[in-house]
């Protein structure tokens, strides 16, 4: 046995949820209660989210994808309509537009902000445009003042894809506490989780009713043996098991996000102004930092992104990719989109890497990531 062998470091994933023992116990309590589907815990979570967002109406779903689709339907958006959205996001952002029969109209994004280019948004508006669906990428809020000014001038709905942005704020106001319809995600890789889940904030009484119908078969009950189905809805109701997790998570959201900001500050401090990667826009204290996604200078390197990912994995560090440009996928090429239309989104899609960032990380973990990346990139310079 070689006593001088270097100890193997624990694997550091790019994300990992933090679930405390109190939350685990609350799930066990729900399991023992016999009420597992939507019930008192779902109602409690919706109330807690509403309180967190300043009293706005909140309706939960099994995913943000379901929430975005229901928000579009509640706004009456369908065949023949257009919805403007960024070319860079998780594909669900565009998929839901297609699923309701409308056409996604892509615009490019800022190279560092990753948020939609609002100048291009205005240029993309046509008589068929019904809504804008921005994405607060990585938790960095879009310029809300300018966004809503554009929407107001053209009488458009705004459906905010805030999947990354629970706990983010714009000029001191929490995303979801104002604006039109705002959709959050509680997937396990988000800042808080309900295992799988999402929620919509906002909406008129009629829109809330539409959302409720679409998440439960379009069905209404007027008595113990009296039902009616008003529309062909789906089934996207959150479970009490999921809601119990969400209640425990929401209590710690501000703590989790504060920790993320500390970790990101360390990334910026270590890399300074002469980083071997292109760092994302830093934003201000309103940024919730769902992901930390620098760009690799691939044109200056003798390795591919895949090789970088594999080299980091060999060092016990997990890397994600958020995201390929949506219009480069086959489903969207079939709609007539092609490479070269949105150069920033395409460059980000080629060069982006998602580095480890989650609340349970230590500052020494950030140092480990930076040191490993520096070593690989130094050795790969052309």
What length is written for the chain?
Answer: 382
**How many helices (H) and strands (E) would you count in the chain?**
13, 11
Contacts of 130 (CB under 8 A, 6+ apart): 75, 76, 77, 81, 82, 83, 102, 156, 157
The first and second tokens of residue 324, run together, are 């390929």
Told to judge if 190 belongs to the known catalytic residues of this protein, a careful annotator would answer yes
CA–CA separation, 186 and 289 (whole Å): 15
Which one of 190, 221, 251, 382 is the catalytic residue?
Answer: 190
Question: What is the spatial distance between Cα 201 and Cα 151, in angstroms, rounded to a whole number?
Answer: 18
Q: How far is it, in rounded angstroms, from Cα 201 to Cα 366?
A: 34
Q: What is the dihedral of CA 48, 260, 91, 129, to 10 degrees?
A: 70
Strand 103-107, strand 157-161: pairing: unpaired
Handedness of CA 359, 365, 367, 369 (dihedral sign): negative
SS3 at position 180? coil
- Which residue in 112, 113, 82 sits closest to 100, CA to CA? 82
Q: Collapse the DSSP code of 366 into the 3-class scheme (helix H, G, I; strand E, B; otherwise coil) and give the result.
A: helix
Which positions are catalytic? 190
């Amino acid at each position: 046995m070689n006593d001088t062998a270097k100890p193997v470091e624990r694997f550091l994933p790019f994300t990992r949820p933090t679930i405390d023992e109190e939350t685990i116990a609350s799930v066990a309590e729900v399991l023992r209660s016999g009420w597992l589907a939507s019930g008192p815990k779902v109602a409690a979570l919706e109330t807690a989210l509403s309180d967190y967002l300043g009293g706005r109406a909140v309706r939960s779903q099994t995913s943000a994808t379901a929430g975005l689709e229901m928000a579009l339907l509640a706004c009456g958006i369908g065949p023949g309509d257009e919805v403007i959205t960024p070319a860079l996001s998780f594909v669900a952002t565009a998929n839901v537009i297609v699923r309701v029969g409308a056409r996604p109209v892509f615009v490019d994004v800022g190279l560092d902000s990753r948020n939609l280019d609002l100048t291009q948004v205005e240029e993309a508006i046509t008589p068929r445009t019904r809504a804008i669906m921005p994405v607060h990428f990585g938790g960095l809020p879009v310029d809300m003042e300018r966004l809503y000014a554009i929407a107001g001038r053209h009488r458009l709905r705004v459906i905010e894809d805030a999947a990354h942005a629970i706990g983010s704020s714009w000029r001191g106001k929490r995303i979801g506490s104002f604006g039109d319809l705002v959709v959050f995600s509680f997937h396990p890789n988000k800042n808080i989780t309900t295992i799988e889940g999402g929620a919509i904030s906002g909406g008129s009484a009629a829109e809330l009713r539409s959302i409720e119908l679409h998440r439960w078969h379009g069905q209404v009950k007027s008595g113990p043996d009296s039902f009616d189905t008003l529309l062909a809805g789906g089934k996207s109701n959150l479970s009490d098991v999921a809601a119990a997790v969400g209640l425990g998570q929401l209590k710690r959201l501000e703590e989790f996000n504060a920790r993320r900001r500390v970790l990101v500050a360390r990334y910026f401090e270590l890399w300074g102004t002469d980083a071997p990667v292109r760092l994302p826009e830093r934003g201000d204290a309103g940024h919730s930092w769902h992901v930390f996604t620098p760009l690799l200078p691939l044109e200056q390197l003798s390795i591919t992104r895949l090789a970088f990912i594999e080299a980091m994995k060999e060092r016990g560090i997990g890397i994600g990719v958020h995201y390929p440009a949506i219009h480069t996928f086959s489903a969207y090429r079939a709609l007539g989109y092609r490479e070269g239309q949105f150069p920033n989104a395409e460059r980000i899609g080629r060069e982006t890497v998602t580095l480890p960032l989650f609340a349970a990380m230590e500052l020494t973990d950030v140092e480990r990531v930076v040191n490993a990346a520096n070593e690989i990139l130094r050795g790969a310079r052309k």
